[in-house]
Structure 1
Amino acid sequence: MAASVNVYHSLPRDLGEQKIITEAVRPIPLGSVLRKDGPARAIKDKLRRLDVRKPDYYTGPPWKLLFDDIVLFMKNAIFLPGIVFPLWSRDTARSFTLENNIYDRSGFVISRLSRRVEAFAQKYYHSGPLDELYPSLPNIRDITFHAILFIAQGTFLLSLPFLSFLSFNILTAYIIGFVTLNYFVCYALNGWMPYGYIQSTDFPEAAQWDQEHPNEQWIFLNGVAVGKHWLRSNINRISLTFHRRVTGVHNKTSGIIFDVIQCLLERCLYFGTSDTRACFAIISEALLKPQNDRVVLILHSQGGIEGSIILDWLINQHPRDILQKLEIYTFGNASNHFNNPRTHKKEHNGEEHDPHGRAIRHIEHYANSMDFVSRWGVMNFKQKTADQKDRAVLMNLNAGLLSHRTEAKKHLSKKQIKENNKLQKAWNSYAGALFVRPGSGHQFNQHYLDNMFPLDKSLTRVQQNGDGSPLPGTFMAAEVNIFNDRKQVARLRNLKDGQYENEHHAEHHGINGDVSVKQVYQLSRLWSYVNGKSPEDF
């Protein structure tokens, strides 16, 4: 039986609200307001207190965010091998038939040897050649390029302090020369993609869906170290899983080390790259098409960072009815925030779980518990927002009105300013449910989709029971532990002095867990899309 899966929901900010009272500021002496047509008139200081909302964590100073990211990196460094391990499935994967038979003697020696290796490897890779670490020639080529880039970039960065004594012109030429060489090497990985995106292969299942339901558009944004070959493998795996045609927007790789540096710039400086802007343009166009009722965005790894920035831009530029078309699903998300503001003033009527009250109706995150990137991103920041601790800091502010004609100013004490700059990861925005699978691995196809949406022998459909439920022992069939269950949170709002208004609710005082035990697939909206299906509710 599969191990239980933890599901996290952020605790609403208005629950557990506490005040941190600072010393009152001595009121600033007020002068008088000089009127144009009369003598000075005394003004009383009526503004005695003003509550200040503490800013979200991700809006903090870049140096503070960078320091926290480095500390978080060190704390989770032991999980770095979890990015690539396991290299293959520990249990024998479902066997599938290769087009080239193992006993085929035609071709060169290398071709025959390659077929033998692939025939053996099929036992340990669920998606065959689509898996990133499957020993096919294109995969081996990409892995070799990344290994060379990793060594070269590491050597380059380590050499900079020792070469700093050289003249500025020589050092500059050295840096420019290496970056230029790195670009051309990465071009072999990224390939030629003039529009910045590619389409998935026209599988028969996806073509049939286009004929029956042409009102959907699926978009994928990849993560770190993904070239054109792996991007195509990713979108083809998505297409085979959900029977949709998928557009893959290419977040081009610059090598693993340079990609990680780019992640830090995006997370700490809120920096939008050209790939981020290209994806934003594609999503905006898809949302604005009248024929599209749904736009599904799937993000992986660094794509989660860029997706969080894109989401902020979309919320800023599009009205509510347009945003309601969008659904977002992330895997191994590396972002430090995920916004989804309310579209109207909240009513305390127990409708906390109503998706219509948010800009984006559906957001879900999937993570492996021992995946370093997930622990550095979604698991850390989402679980912080799920902690049942103080959610807000309300500051005591004594402000004075300094009047010089119509100019108004506010005054904060140094202590208040310092207190307000103490960012807390628990006071952050991270919308969407988080599903944490016990296990490791960060590769999109091999470690996420293979374990969460396993394909059958034909590699064309997700394995299911006759009633559409997942097979026993799989991730989607596992039981769940729910943290901050939204229905229980709604009940908690009715608490008065530790007791429910209605006595028959007295046995439900917690917000963790649910009355009935659920399985992952019953909570996962993404599961309702497998094999060409569609959710009943929109």
Structure 2
Amino acid sequence: MENPWVLLNRDFTWVLWRHLYDVVVEFGLRNSILAIRFDRLADDNEPTSELNLSYGRNWLSALYQGVITILTFPIFIFYPILMLSAFIKEVTRPASPALINSHPDEKWFFINGVVVDKGWLNENCKYLEKRFGRGVTGILNTSYGFIWDLVETALQRSFDIQTVSVRWATYNILPALRDKNYTTVRIIAHSQGAIIANLVLQKLYIELSRAGKQDDLKKLEVYTFANASREFLNPGNLVRRIEHYANRRDPIAKFGVLDQLNNGRFQGEIFVNSYRNQGKGHLFNAFYSLDKADYKPVKNDDAIPELLQLPGRVDNLPIQL
């Protein structure tokens, strides 16, 4: 219930004075120059890390991000005009045809974070499909470059703005919840996508409640990685399961989920990785493990500094992914 402008000012103070090194070095360098790889895989259809530059598709995505970031100022000026037709231009990445019928009673969605285009969205979905053997529909959270994406993230998390990406995700997920053929609907979200997921949950609850069908949320499970939200609410406590995964040294996770351990409005279990890559990095494919053994559950009263010296791995997490 705080003044959203105060919250926004607090976010910028957090970045500029408390964690500038994390943002510039850990996020800026580690997720760009230092993340570049040239590892040709045995199977070119396998998912790659975002900056594996052995593949032309990743060159195109990286080039797109560079160009669109350079155009930040004109995008800022023409942003309202761009949004007028944005909804009809939004993109979904269809689930792999080979996996669609493998579990016909399940529907999986992925919402991407900052600095992701159609190419990297496809790689993110392939990464999940390979790990879990389920078809994953990607819902594109359109990127307008590194700087504008961060501004949009700060505005969404402080003002709860229902951007086009929130409405687009709701538009795609709502029919799956209403479909009686699905007994399980899963949303997986990364970074800014987790802020979108939080806002989508509230909108889904409202839309379903209008028809007295809010219990349809009981078939929903939500899993976030590098959650950048200030809060994450389970509307009516109806959502079946909510889990959050974070790399300990990921500045976006430190800005979001790891800064909210004592926040009663941040619902769902939290798991932290301090092992693989020492829990560093933000890019989904490049740095986020989908191996449950790499994460340790964290209680709300755990002190943040103690997470740097987590004890041995936990091999039996309650993860449902």
Cα displacement (A) at 1:239: 1.0
Which protein is richer in helix relative to its size? 2
Cα displacement (A) at 1:315: 2.6
Confirm whether residue 452 of structure 1 aligns to residue 290 of structure 2: yes
Cα displacement (A) at 1:452: 3.2
Which residue in 2 is equivalent to 1:146?
Answer: 65
Aligned residue among 82, 85, 107 for 2:26: 82
Cα displacement (A) at 1:245: 0.9
Alignment of 1:330-341 (within 5 A): 330-341=224-235
TM-score by length of 1: 0.50
Alpha-carbon distance between aligned partners in 1 of 2:186 and 2:132, rounded to the nearest angstrom:
11
Which residue in 1 is equivalent to 2:252?
Answer: 373
Confirm whether residue 276 of structure 1 aligns to residue 171 of structure 2: no
TM-align CA RMSD: 3.2
Summarize the Cα distance change of 1:198–1:301 in structure 2 as closer, same or farther, 3 Å threshold.
same
Summarize the Cα distance change of 1:241–1:481 in structure 2 as closer, same or farther, 3 Å threshold.
closer
Confirm whether residue 432 of structure 1 aligns to residue 268 of structure 2: yes
Which residue in 2 is equivalent to 1:69?
Answer: 11
Confirm whether residue 220 of structure 1 aligns to residue 110 of structure 2: yes
Alpha-carbon distance between aligned partners in 1 of 2:69 and 2:153, rounded to the nearest angstrom:
16
Cα displacement (A) at 1:229: 0.5
Which residue in 1 is equivalent to 2:217?
Answer: 323
Alignment of 1:336-351 (within 5 A): 336-341=230-235, 343=236
Summarize the Cα distance change of 1:249–1:147 in structure 2 as closer, same or farther, 3 Å threshold.
same
Summarize the Cα distance change of 1:244–1:151 in structure 2 as closer, same or farther, 3 Å threshold.
same
Letter in 1 for 2:271: F
Native 8 Å contact 1:302 1:334 kept in 2: yes
SS state at 1:201 partner: coil
Confirm whether residue 131 of structure 1 aligns to residue 49 of structure 2: yes
The percent of aligned pairs where both chains have the same amino acid is: 31
Aligned residue pairs, count: 295
Deviations for 1:161-214, whole angstroms, at most 9, x for unmatched residues? xxxxxxxxxxxxxx589648x97xxxxxx9x98563121333x4x25xx24x31
Q: Tell which has more relative contact order, 1 or 2 (C-alpha 8 A, sep 6+).
A: 1
Alignment of 1:478-489 (within 5 A): 480=296, 482-483=298-299
Alignment of 1:430-509 (within 5 A): 430-438=266-274, 439-448=279-288, 451-453=289-291, 476-477=292-293, 480=296, 482-483=298-299
Confirm whether residue 289 of structure 1 aligns to residue 179 of structure 2: yes
Which residue in 1 is equivalent to 2:119?
Answer: 229
Deviations for 1:397-422, whole angstroms, at most 9, x for unmatched residues? xxxxxxxxxxxxxxxxxxxxxxxxxx
Stretches of structure 2 lacking an aligned partner (at least 5 in a row): 302-310
Alignment of 1:88-167 (within 5 A): 88=35, 97-98=42-43, 130-135=48-53, 136-153=55-72, 156=73
Native 8 Å contact 1:315 1:359 kept in 2: no
Letter in 2 for 1:433: E
Alignment of 1:248-259 (within 5 A): 248-259=138-149
Summarize the Cα distance change of 1:384–1:217 in structure 2 as closer, same or farther, 3 Å threshold.
same
Confirm whether residue 201 of structure 1 aligns to residue 41 of structure 2: no
SS state at 1:367 partner: strand
Alpha-carbon distance between aligned partners in 2 of 1:199 and 1:430, rounded to the nearest angstrom:
31
Letter in 1 for 2:223: Y
After TM superposition, the runs of 4+ consecutive aligned structure 1 residues lying more than 6 A away are: none
Which residue in 2 is equivalent to 1:384?
Answer: 262
Native 8 Å contact 2:297 2:317 kept in 1: no
Alignment of 1:253-268 (within 5 A): 253-268=143-158
Cα displacement (A) at 1:327: 0.1
TM-score by length of 2: 0.81
Cα displacement (A) at 1:85: 1.9
Cα displacement (A) at 1:230: 0.6
Native 8 Å contact 2:218 2:238 kept in 1: yes
Cα displacement (A) at 1:217: 0.3
Alpha-carbon distance between aligned partners in 2 of 1:176 and 1:313, rounded to the nearest angstrom:
28
Stretches of structure 1 lacking an aligned partner (at least 5 in a row): 1-58, 100-126, 157-174, 184-189, 344-357, 386-427, 454-475, 486-516, 530-538
Alignment of 1:3-18 (within 5 A): none
Summarize the Cα distance change of 1:176–1:300 in structure 2 as closer, same or farther, 3 Å threshold.
closer
Confirm whether residue 522 of structure 1 aligns to residue 304 of structure 2: no
Letter in 1 for 2:171: A
Which residue in 2 is equivalent to 1:172?
Answer: none
